[in-house]
Structure 1
Amino acid sequence: MKIAVIGGGSSYTPELIEGFILRADKLKIDEIVLVDIEAGKEKLEIVGGLAKRMIKKSGLPIKVELTFDRINAITNADFVLTQFRVGGLDARASDERIPLEYNVIGQETTGPGGFAKALRTIPVILDICKEIEEYSNDAWLINFTNPAGMVAEAVHKYSSVKAIGLCNVPINMKQMAANILEVNRDDVNMSFAGLNHLVYATTVHVNGKDAMDPLIDGIIEGKNMNMRNIHDAPWEEEFLKALRVLPCPYHRYYYMMDEMLAEEKEAAGLRGTRAEQVKEIEKALFETYKNPSLDVKPKELEERGGSLYSEAAVSLITSIVTNDHALHTVNVPNNGTISQLPDDAVIEVTCVVTSEGPKPLQVGKLPAEIIGLIQQVKAFEQLTIEAAATGDRQKALLALVNNPFVPSSKVAKQLLNDILEANKEYLPQFLVRSEIH
């Protein structure tokens, strides 16, 4: 088995390597190829060195190769994992700061920030898909690159690659629910439905018994149900009890927009945006990774915000390899799963995973209290995907107008012009004109 990791110089890679080591009894991996761009040479060599030491310590007969040759990495791969960031953390910092100038939330994967990231990322993922189609047409593409839902939908619409989008939010919600309910995670059964970073837990059971109410009570009492990279604004008790499905941590940006915006603006002035904070975390991480005696995933990686990332990824791959019919929450085409969304829309939903891939559990009709927001964000996503793939400025403008964070078409136009200008080196598809008038 050959696994290619595109974005192999990522600080997350040791987490992935640890996951492969822990599941070595089920995954008979022969080769892991870490591929990156030449600008990331130093990081690739540092991470690759740690990966090789981790494999050596494990005693597993796995070859670890480092390369800048993406086609060589993809050729005859069984799985291609994508975890890259076009423009690096500097581009992310721009994504976070530009919206704040217009009193709009600036966040990596939602709103105008997620829009900008999608414009940069989708053309690159589609190039990768062309290479997979040519050099390894039976490979599975497992994408972690954000915005994961939009990236997955672009792949399904514009390529024939077998692709699954993956996020660590659902598995973390399950773990946090287990912590709140004081049970083992394996005893918790949660059904998820929605979009990436806009997913809801629609049911929660512990050993077959409905546990939604005690879970909501625990959250109202202040027990943790949040990701490390999101401001922990407390939920309103009456709202959560009225909703009676569990929003994911990213829903704070939609349901507490004023509070989250105020916190972002304050943080940007005092500590820097999240990207600027992550740059400092990563700088320290890579210094740790350099240690020639380090041969395990360091605890400091937890500060990066990728909790349970490898477990979600490697267990998904294991299910495909072993045909174990396990449940995973992943990003897949809707195809009637949620009746109020288009068939070609990619959704995040609980699936049974076999050797043939994920099979969504039927959802049917979602309640009015959540489907409206989902439909609006999906309209934004689909317009963004089309704009990213084609360079259509009108679609790009309409995408921003449809985003819940953007207050007017005038602000949408200003945001679009600023985003295109800041990202022009990454957006050749938009080079015909520099502004919408």
Structure 2
Amino acid sequence: MKLAVVGGGSTYTPELIDGFARLRDTLPISELVLVDPAAERLEAVGGLARRIFAKQGHDGLITTTSDLDAGVDGAGAVLLQLRVGGQAARERDETWPLECGCVGQETTGAGGLAKALRTVPVVLDIAERVRRASPEAWIVDFTNPVGIVTRALLRAGHKAVGLCNVAIGFQRKFAALLGVAPEAVHLDHVGLNHLTWERGVRLGGPDGEDVLPGLLARHGDAIAGDLRLPRAVLDRLGVVPSYYLRYFYAHDEVVRELGTKPSRAAEVAAMERELLAMYRDPALEEKPELLARRGGAFYSEAAVDLVAALLGSGAGGPRLQVVNTYNDGTLPFLPDDAVIEGQAAVDAGGPVPLAVPEPDPLYAGLIAHVTAYEDLALQAALRGGRDRVFRALLAHPLVGQYELAEGLTDRLIAHNREHLAWA
């Protein structure tokens, strides 16, 4: 089985390699190709990847290339983990929205729209080349904003599934608090990418006992601390929101915080320089502890489970996993072609979302609102134009005022002109 990772020079990649090595019985890989135009980064990451495989006794071949078409040729699955514009673009996404009093973040709000506008055309070009080289290949998108990018891929007719590590992170956290194996924990996970709520934590499967009330009663302070939200908010909601909901539930507080400290992009850029120096050390044969601070925890386990299911490597029928895919009536207040994030039964035919009770209006309304924004954002990414950018920003619940939308539109275009063919 051949797999390709586009964006293989990312500092995330050793996390993925470690999972492939440890879980080779779940996903047997004969060849893994890391594809990236950044030759120096690719050499460092590729060298460590080979050493990780060798140390863990994996006999799969790891190759590196800057030739996308050759790299994806014959692949059964292609993983996308790229950042158009690099950390410099992320730094801008996290700073210029603050000039308008809006949250600066790379996937949420105005910064998230900028990332979508840069990313969607590039990903669609890559996907077309994958389709020509390997028509049956599955595309697994880990590239943010995952919901919008996945929607673009699906609308263009690609065999694509979006993947995020938020759900598996909660699963691992809750399992540790409960003292059970992670696979025993099933999440009632509902929403959109980076806009999700855990409505239940069930033991043994989707029909198991819901232990979320007890978890909140015993461990609410710790869970709230991780989310940086008051414990009282969790108690009143009765659910666990993803940490991205803090940008909505405490927007002004977050904006004040962001204005008083270095950006996350600056922190990550410094971390990446240190990680790449480590990766070049020929004595390093495992992912370094510093990588856990980079982000993407448990990404490898989620990716292995998903690819194994899509390629028919899993045993015992479809695998239940949280993914991003078409709504198809799952949430009746959204269009069928909206992309939601939730539990799905995944096999070689692709993901089929599980039926869920209709969400509480408290968050159903926000889901519908952000879905409308994502539709406008995708139109702007596909067709360009200042007016489409303005409309998407005006529709975003973190913007919603015409003067803010005007100012943000001007800044977005000014800071991203080199990546916008129409600008």
Q: The TM-score by the shorter chain falls in which range?
A: over 0.9
Structure 1, unmatched stretches of 5+, are 227-231, 432-437
Which residue of 2 is the match for residue 416 of structure 1? 409
Which residue of 1 is the match for residue 243 of structure 2? 249
For the residues of structure 1 that align with 2:366 and 2:231, how far apart are their CA atoms?
18
Match of 1:317 among 307, 322, 338: 307
Q: Cα gap change, 1:285/1:357 in structure 2, threshold over 3 Å: closer, same or farther?
A: same
Which residue of 1 is the match for residue 220 of structure 2? 220
Matched, 1:259 2:253: yes
For the residues of structure 1 that align with 2:388 and 2:343, how far apart are their CA atoms?
31
Kindly provide the amino acid, as one letter, of the partner of residue 292 in structure 1. P
Kindly provide the amino acid, as one letter, of the partner of residue 103 in structure 1. G
- Cα deviation for residue 223 of structure 1 reads 4.1
For the residues of structure 2 that align with 1:225 and 1:161, how far apart are their CA atoms?
40
For the residues of structure 1 that align with 2:281 and 2:234, how far apart are their CA atoms?
47
Which residue of 2 is the match for residue 434 of structure 1? none
**TM-score, scaled relative to structure 1:** 0.92
Which residue of 2 is the match for residue 72 of structure 1? 70
- Report percent identity of matched pairs: 42
Which residue of 1 is the match for residue 286 of structure 2? 296
What CA deviation, in whole Å up to 9, does each residue of 1:242-276 have, x standing for no partner? 32222111111111112211111112xxxx10000
Matched, 1:29 2:41: no
Match of 2:234 among 209, 223, 240: 240
- Give the total of aligned pairs: 417
Alignment of 1:53-132 (within 5 A): 53-132=51-130
Which residue of 1 is the match for residue 354 of structure 2? 361
Which residue of 1 is the match for residue 385 of structure 2? 392
Q: Cα gap change, 1:225/1:328 in structure 2, threshold over 3 Å: closer, same or farther?
A: farther
For the residues of structure 1 that align with 2:224 and 2:282, how far apart are their CA atoms?
36
Do the aligned partners of 2:224 and 2:230 also contact (CA within 8 Å) in 1?
A: no
Do the aligned partners of 1:222 and 1:234 also contact (CA within 8 Å) in 2?
A: no
**TM-score, scaled relative to structure 2:** 0.95
Kindly provide the amino acid, as one letter, of the partner of residue 253 in structure 1. Y
For the residues of structure 2 that align with 1:304 and 1:224, how far apart are their CA atoms?
22
Do the aligned partners of 2:82 and 2:143 also contact (CA within 8 Å) in 1?
A: yes
- Cα deviation for residue 407 of structure 1 reads 4.7
SS at match of 1:352: strand
Do the aligned partners of 1:336 and 1:343 also contact (CA within 8 Å) in 2?
A: yes
Match of 1:306 among 288, 293, 296: 296
For the residues of structure 1 that align with 2:73 and 2:222, how far apart are their CA atoms?
50
Match of 2:320 among 323, 327, 350: 327
For the residues of structure 1 that align with 2:420 and 2:41, how far apart are their CA atoms?
25
Do the aligned partners of 2:346 and 2:352 also contact (CA within 8 Å) in 1?
A: yes
What CA deviation, in whole Å up to 9, does each residue of 1:361-397 have, x standing for no partner? 0125222111111111111111001110111332221
SS at match of 1:322: coil
- Cα deviation for residue 183 of structure 1 reads 3.3
SS at match of 1:307: coil
Kindly provide the amino acid, as one letter, of the partner of residue 257 in structure 2. E
SS at match of 1:241: helix
